[in-house]
Amino acid sequence: MRRFGGGLTASYFVLALIIWALCAIVPNAVGLREFGFDAWVGMATVWSGMFIWPIFFLPLIMLALYRPFQILLEATLNSDRLRDALTYASPIIFGTVFCDTHDRL
């Protein structure tokens, strides 16, 4: 059985940091630059749930999802049959399709 060690862990945390920066830091930096401090603080206050959520909770969510993601990835790559691999990978596949479809609506 193939297990993933430190390389997957390090890659996951680097990817999680990049995702956090793209979801939490970049929108606020762009909004501050685009609208100015006073206007952006007003908009961020009105839409606080949308701007505050990724800053505080996304790192915790990414940390909580690490172990389940690792288990799914190991089960998928260690399966002997394609059908089993697709079964193990189905949460990742359907989650990706659902997120993509949800964003387009």
Separation between Cα atoms, residue 14 and residue 21, nearest integer Å: 11
Is residue 1 assigned to a domain? Answer: no
Nearest by Cα to 23 from 64, 68, 57, 54? 54
- What's the pLDDT score for residue 4? 67
* 36: alpha, beta or left? (left if phi > 0; alpha if psi -120 to 50): left
Is residue 86 assigned to a domain? Answer: yes
- What's the pLDDT score for residue 82? 93
Can you give the residue range of the structural domain that contains 54?
6-104
Separation between Cα atoms, residue 14 and residue 55, nearest integer Å: 16
Is residue 68 assigned to a domain? Answer: yes
No. of H helices and E strands in the chain? Answer: 5, 0
Is residue 92 assigned to a domain? Answer: yes
Is residue 38 assigned to a domain? Answer: yes
- What's the pLDDT score for residue 63? 84
- pTM across the whole model: 0.57
* pLDDT of 83 above 90: yes
Question: How many independent structural domains does the chain possess?
Answer: 1
Is residue 47 assigned to a domain? Answer: yes
